[in-house]
Amino acid sequence: MAKVKGPLFSLAASGQIAKTLVYMSWKGIADVRKYVIPANPNTAGQQEQRGFFSTAVGQWHTDGFTAVDVAAWNLYALALKVAQSGFNVCTKLKVLALVAGNAWSKLVNCLVTAITAVGCTVTVTGVVAKVAKLYIGTSKTSMFTEFVGVDTAGEYVFTITDLSALTKYYFYIKNTFADDDGRTGIYSFTTIAA
C-alpha cells in the first residue's frame, strides 16, 4: 500500500481515474491502488448464503416490529458495543440461525404493563406451543434472573416479581424451544415508588 500526501496535487482525493487508479482513505490514511474488478464466482455456496441474507432482511420488514421493538434491537446493538444498528444485529442472528438449520420464531409487540414498585407484567406476541423465557437485570449486559412465560393464545405473558422500587430494569425474551433461535432486543422500564 502506498501512502500519499497531497495526491493529485490536492489535499485529498477519492474515486477512480480512467479505471486504472483508485484514490481513497483507509483508516485515516490517504491511499492509492490499482483499479480491480471484484471477482464474483457465483458459487452454489454464495447463492445459498445470499438466500439466507435475503430471507433475513425480508423477515425484518414483514415480522411486524413496532417502534418499541426496533428501539429494543438498537439498544441490544448498543449493548454489544459494535458499530451496528438493531437491523444489522437482528439480521445477523437470523442468518446464523438459518445457516445452523434452526428456526427463528418472531417475538414482537412487547408491552410492559401494570408496573408497580415490586413487579410488572410483560406480554409479547410469539409462536404458540413453544417455550419462551424472559431474562431481566439492572444492567443491559447482565440479565441473569429468568421468568418462564405462559402461552395464552399466541402471546407469552410474564409476571415479573421481587423487583426494587425506583430502579431501572433491562430485559430480553428468548425462545428456549429446541432448534429455535428467536429472541428480542433489550427493553427497559423503571419501577415506581413504593
In Å, what is the CA distance from 58 to each residue of 63, 65, 71, 85, 115?
8, 12, 19, 16, 35
Which phi and psi angles does 131 have, rounded to 5°?
-115, 130
Residues 17 and 103 in one domain: no
Q: What does pTM read for this prediction?
A: 0.80
In a domain, 39, yes or no: no
Residues 73 and 165 in one domain: yes
Mean pLDDT of 152-175: 93
Confidence at residue 180, expressed as pLDDT on a 0 to 100 scale? 86
**pLDDT exceeds cutoff 90 at 40:** no
Confidence at residue 14, expressed as pLDDT on a 0 to 100 scale? 81
Confidence at residue 179, expressed as pLDDT on a 0 to 100 scale? 83
Residues 68 and 112 in one domain: yes
Q: Kindly indicate the confidence band of residue 10, based on its pLDDT and cuts at 50, 70 and 90.
A: low
Residues 24 and 82 in one domain: no
**pLDDT exceeds cutoff 90 at 31:** no
Starting at the edge strand found earlier in the chain, the sheet holding 15-17 runs: 2-3, 29-34, 21-26, 15-17
**pLDDT exceeds cutoff 80 at 2:** no
Mean pLDDT of 107-129: 90
In a domain, 6, yes or no: yes
In Å, what is the CA distance from 149 to each residue of 6, 41, 170, 181?
62, 47, 17, 16
Average pLDDT score, the chain: 90
Are 83 and 104 spatial neighbours (Cβ–Cβ below 8 Å)? no
In a domain, 30, yes or no: yes
Domain ranges, residue 186: 44-190
Q: Using CA atoms, how far apart are residues 151 and 164, in angstroms rounded to an integer?
A: 26
Strands (DSSP E) found in 15-126:
15-17, 21-26, 29-34, 108-113, 120-125
Q: Is 59 helix (H, G, I), strand (E, B) or coil?
A: helix
Which phi and psi angles does 56 have, rounded to 5°?
-65, -45
**pLDDT exceeds cutoff 90 at 101:** yes
More confident of the two residues 27 and 45: 45
Residues 52 and 29 in one domain: no
Residues 185 and 122 in one domain: yes
Residues 93 and 112 in one domain: yes
Percent of the chain residues past pLDDT 90, beyond the cut = 63
Residues 50 and 17 in one domain: no
Confidence at residue 82, expressed as pLDDT on a 0 to 100 scale? 86
Residue 66 sits in a domain whose CATH number is: 2.60.40.10
